[in-house]
Amino acid sequence: MKIVLFESISKIIIIGVFAYALGFAYENVWLIDEFDRGLINGEIINVDVKFSWWPFIISILLVVLQSILSVKLKPRKRADILLKFGEFQDGDEREMIITNKATRASHVTFTVAVMITMMIMVLSTNYIYLYPALPIYLFASTIVASSIAYAIAWCLEYNK
């Protein structure tokens, strides 16, 4: 259970930091595009573009750290273990059943979250100009919701 919780929480943190990095970069690209649209119309729009590599570097460092800690936590430290996520425990039949139920819960949550996200995107056309990176954050939130549902379902089934 410790491995599943670590993998789920670290994945949520990594997705959050990476979504912030992509959102920050996308907002700056949006500003550059606004400047180009202004030039086409004969206007000069002052934009303040600030791009930083730090969110991407932090994301990569978190992935490396998570990979190292994940290998250290797993009982069987083999080379092929890197290809298996710690969330998908399949050591025995009970763990396979638990993983199956948690995966179903994650799938249902992801489906509902995607539908809600699509409705929010359709209804939030005015907010796109205020928050251009909103679709990136919405997409990241669907993945986070799915990961949370998986971790909760796995822990509940494990403790039965």
Gyration radius of the chain's alpha carbons: 20
- Can you read off the two tokens belonging to residue 114? 């995607």
Q: Please give the pLDDT value at position 128.
A: 80
Q: Please give the pLDDT value at position 61.
A: 94
This model's pTM is above 0.85: no
pLDDT of residue 90 exceeding 80, the answer is no
Q: Please give the pLDDT value at position 46.
A: 72
pLDDT tens for residues 39-61?
777 777 777 777 788 889 999 99
Q: Please give the pLDDT value at position 29.
A: 82
Q: Please give the pLDDT value at position 3.
A: 80
CA pair distance 110, 114, nearest whole angstrom: 6
